[in-house]
Amino acid sequence: MLTKSFEHPLRSSKRKKLKVSSLEAKKQTLQASIRAKVEHPFKVIKQVFGYNKVRYRGLLKNTERLMTLAGFANLLRVQKALLD
């Protein structure tokens, strides 16, 4: 199995202090933008639907609940487009 180490992107102020190369800075900016897009639906699921803790109800029930909440989060995301 291949493992890949993952480094969190530095904030721009820390990049300036450490004098990170421009290629590395672009890489970190790209990683941060992708992470922001991916994490937003999970924020909606956790805050709007109160899915903070997983109760051990069985793998199938947890999976079904997560898929349902992900569908609702997608509906919230496109709510304005659907109503227009």
Specify if 73 maps to a domain: yes
Q: Which residues form the domain of 62? A: 12-83
Specify if 34 maps to a domain: yes
Please tell me the distance from the alpha carbon of residue 65 to that of residue 22, in angstroms, as a whole number. 43
> Quick check: 6 and 32 in contact, CB under 8 A?
no
Please tell me the distance from the alpha carbon of residue 35 to that of residue 57, in angstroms, as a whole number. 29
Specify if 5 maps to a domain: no
Nearest to 71 by CA among 39, 41, 46, 34: 41
Nearest to 49 by CA among 32, 22, 78, 74: 74
47-65 tens-digit pLDDT: 877 777 767 778 888 888 8
Nearest to 66 by CA among 51, 56, 79: 51
5-49 tens-digit pLDDT: 656 666 666 666 666 677 777 887 888 888 888 888 888 888 877
* Number of domains making up the chain: 1
Specify if 65 maps to a domain: yes
